[in-house]
Amino acid sequence: MRTYLDHAATSPVRPEVARQVAEDLTSGLGGWANPSAQHTAGRRVGALLAEARARLAGALRVDAHEVLLTSGGTEADALVVSGRARAVPGGRLVVSPIEHPAVLDSARTAAAELGAGLSLLEVDGAGRVELDSLARAVAPAADAGHSPVSLVSVMAANNETGVVQDMAALVAHVREASGAGHPEEAGYVPVHSDAVAALGKVPVDFHGWGLDAMSLTGHKLGAPVGVGALVLRRDLAVTPATGGGRQERGIRSGTQDVVAARALALAVELAVAEQQEQEARLAVLRRRILEGVGALPGVHATLPEDADHVASTAHLWFEEADAEALLMALDLAGIDASAGSACHAGVAQPSHVLLAMDFEEGPARSTLRCSLGRETSPDDVERLLTALPAALEGARRAWKVTHKAARTRI
């Protein structure tokens, strides 16, 4: 029996969603037809698409016209970041340094290829955005001596550590510091949030937070991989990089996947409905993990106890331990988890999130993310805690060998 503790990467498709997808593909309703077609099958599927969009909007408490379907959270992030850079030539993107690469890399590409400005915010030791740095970044251009801001992007919950931002307070701070509280006012600064790691884990409130754009994906919630959405205020200008049939308000052209849209709507409805119940249940399991590893020497919780966090993620860092060896040992013991840091060309890199939180490179390389889901049981947690001491011992031996070799070369 394997224990899956990598729900922050992706979660199993929910049985209800799997049944609906199978029925849509095989029932003869024509779920595979083009919803833009004018024939009977096309009109039928177009109605199903409109229904799915309305259901998704209802679960998110937004207007159906504000919901743009995408292939996932990464595309949604890239569409709004690069789209705002194109819509406001010479404008400046303001992002936190702990964003998902979908935001950070898109912003850096916009700076390199489109001439956009880029400002990185400051975060504290828990990864929370420093309000003073936000105020400086969005101050009116004439006062701050820099270009106008085309977009602020701060993720609602971090995909690695699970820290949760106070989005309502951050947006309010943007409005106050920029001097423009309404979209029709000159100098108004739009705010986007990547809510992929937050939706279904904490209450998400697009309009209550005062957002202008928000990204989400389905495969973290029990929908198949390959579908997500960008919630976008009706009048926010976003210029797409490509042309096409002008679907999704002309921002994301291409034949819509109606079966996937219906799967996303159902998964989001279920996740939102169960959010409080699952949060309470997973908080107990997370606490058990942290208490269990607290007895091991040199093992630390990444987040301080007073930091708001999603209940589904327990993020740890280790003194003098090789993260790859740790993950391999856990894998051999039947535990699926992740380091939570980027991996490029098979070489583990220090977590950019922890580096931004002012961790040294060693701890930023030696991390473990245990992310829980609706399928996670107390037995899964106990199997992790049973396997971890031996896995950690092996990881520390590997670390000593690596560092002894490095010292020898010097």
Residue whose pair of structure tokens reads 């207007």 in the numeric block: 63
H helical segments located in 139-248: 141-144, 167-178, 206-209
H helical segments located in 223-358: 258-293, 323-332, 352-356
Record the tokens describing residue 241, joined without a space: 């990089």
**Which 3-state string (H, E, C) describes 232-253?**
ECCCCCCCCCCCCCCCHHHCCC
Catalytic residue (choose from 168, 169, 237, 343): 343
Q: What's the CA angle centered on 82, arms 76 and 88, to 5 degrees?
A: 130
Record the tokens describing residue 230, joined without a space: 């960008």
Which of the 8 DSSP states describes residue 62? Answer: S
**Which 3-state string (H, E, C) describes 274-288?**
HHHHHHHHHHHHHHH
Record the tokens describing residue 244, joined without a space: 């096409």
Catalytic-residue membership of 370? no
61's CB contacts (< 8 A; 6+ apart) are: 205, 206, 207
DSSP SS3 for 193? strand
User: Which of 325, 319, 371 shows the shortest CA–CA distance to 348?
Assistant: 325
**Cβ neighbour number for residue 39 with a 10 Å cutoff:** 10
**54, burial (CB in 10 Å: exposed 0-12, middle 13-18, buried 19+):** middle
- Please provide residue 302's backbone torsions phi and psi, each rounded to the nearest 5 degrees: -70, -40
User: Which of 340, 343, 327 shows the shortest CA–CA distance to 395?
Assistant: 327
**103, burial (CB in 10 Å: exposed 0-12, middle 13-18, buried 19+):** buried
Residues marked active site are found at 343
